[in-house]
Amino acid sequence: MRSGALRLGRREFGAHEPLIMAIVNRTPDSFYDQGATFLDEPALSRVERAVLEGAAIIDIGGVKAGPGEEVTAQEEARRTVGFVREVRRRHPDVVISVDTWRHDVGEAVCEAGADVLNDAWGGVDPKLAEVAARYGAGLVCTHAGGARPRTRPHRVAYEDVTADILRVTVGLAERAVELGVRPDGIMIDPGHDFGKNTRHSLEATRRLDEMTATGWPVLVSLSNKDFVGETLDRPVKERLIGTLATTAVSAWLGARVYRVHEVAETRQVLEMVASIAGHRAPAVARRGLA
């Protein structure tokens, strides 16, 4: 079991310090922003705004998660490596994460200054963890239900989805430690929507405390996802309220890292939950004192 501080890049975060990971998609076809940060200047502006709004981590992705046109490793690297280098130059202390499943891309972005490799496809390339170990980078270990990258779930079934999530993510985390990845840089992610239908993702949320009980810091990527949309019957641009509700539940159950599109709104939710839990004092205290 691991607990306590989380060390990512140059920074160390306390056990009760929730972290916001802001999404910056370097893709022309991302499901949420439809390429709004594909070009360098809009993407750099997005980074600047996210940092000002309270993001501790910037998560840079060069390939859309869902199906679409093929993106080779060379093209993924072209979209991400130079951008990582520029973000590192402009923001020396921000934690830079790259969403990739490919070890060769992982190596290139670590050379450019990335601090974390966000493996959203559950170790499909086992060499990615070796890259994280070699560069001293953090690693996100995700449950994807055995799905191949960029595929959608089809009639997927689990005898117990949370048991499978625990088996896979803890197994990936323990393997990473054996390979030399720092234990205080490893996070586990239930992989909402990845290899799951909506009921699976809801159950994974409801039972998130079983993941946090392992002692590994839990990352949740909830933002505007299909399970939120299906639960409320809302299109992509109308899922913020559902996302924030799910964020609050996840925070109460002990998640540590939140991968999001809307940083400012998420920060308010996390601060409110932390104050209710007794981990954060109110920003001001006037009521009943005058």
**pLDDT at position 108:** 98
Mean pLDDT of 66-91: 97
Which structural domain, as residue segments, surrounds residue 158? Answer: 6-277
Has residue 136 got a pLDDT over 90? Answer: yes
**pLDDT at position 213:** 97
In-domain check, residue 261:
yes
pLDDT > 90: what percent of the chain?
95
Has residue 138 got a pLDDT over 70? Answer: yes
Q: With left for phi above 0 and alpha for psi between -120 and 50, is residue 135 left, alpha or beta?
A: alpha
Mean pLDDT of 187-214: 98
Residue ranges of the alpha helices (H) in the chain? Answer: 40-53, 73-90, 103-112, 127-135, 161-179, 198-206, 208-212, 226-232, 240-252, 263-277
**pLDDT at position 1:** 44
C-alpha distances (whole Å) from 164 to each of 2, 141, 191 are: 20, 13, 11
In-domain check, residue 27:
yes
Backbone φ, ψ for residue 12 (5° rounding): -125, 135
Minimum mean pLDDT range among 3-12, 58-67, 247-256, 276-285: 3-12
**pLDDT at position 42:** 95
Mean pLDDT of 206-219: 98
| Kind of pairing between the strands at 6-8 and 11-13 | antiparallel
C-alpha distances (whole Å) from 230 to each of 35, 36, 149, 198 are: 23, 24, 22, 7
- pTM of this structure: 0.96
Has residue 2 got a pLDDT over 70? Answer: no
**pLDDT at position 3:** 57
In-domain check, residue 190:
yes
Mean pLDDT of 218-240: 98
**To which residue do tokens 């981590």 refer?**
57
Q: DSSP for 25-61, please give it.
A: E--SS-TTTTTTTSSHHHHHHHHHHHHHHT-SEEEEE
Q: What is the pLDDT of residues 29-59, one digit of tens each?
A: 888 887 899 999 999 999 999 999 999 999 9
Backbone φ, ψ for residue 13 (5° rounding): -120, 135
Domain count for the chain, please give it.
1
Write down the mean pLDDT value for the chain. Answer: 96
What number of residues does the chain have?
290
In-domain check, residue 29:
yes
**pLDDT at position 30:** 86
CATH number at residue 225: 3.20.20.20
Backbone φ, ψ for residue 232 (5° rounding): -105, -5
Please give the distance of CA 166 from its chain centroid, rounded to a whole number: 17
Has residue 98 got a pLDDT over 60? Answer: yes
Name 60's Cβ contacts closer than 8 Å, sequence gap at least 6: 24, 26, 80, 83, 84, 87, 96, 97, 98, 99, 109, 114
Q: What is the pLDDT of residues 166-175, one digit of tens each?
A: 999 999 999 9
In-domain check, residue 288:
no
Residues forming a β-bridge with 178: none
Has residue 182 got a pLDDT over 70? Answer: yes
Mean pLDDT of 84-108: 98
> Nearest 5 degrees, angle CA 162-CA 203-CA 196?
75
Mean pLDDT of 249-271: 98
In-domain check, residue 64:
yes
**To which residue do tokens 């990582």 refer?**
84
Mean pLDDT of 127-146: 98
**pLDDT at position 174:** 98
In-domain check, residue 282:
no
Instruction: State the DSSP code for 159.
Output: S
> Nearest 5 degrees, angle CA 25-CA 72-CA 55?
20
**pLDDT at position 214:** 97
In-domain check, residue 290:
no
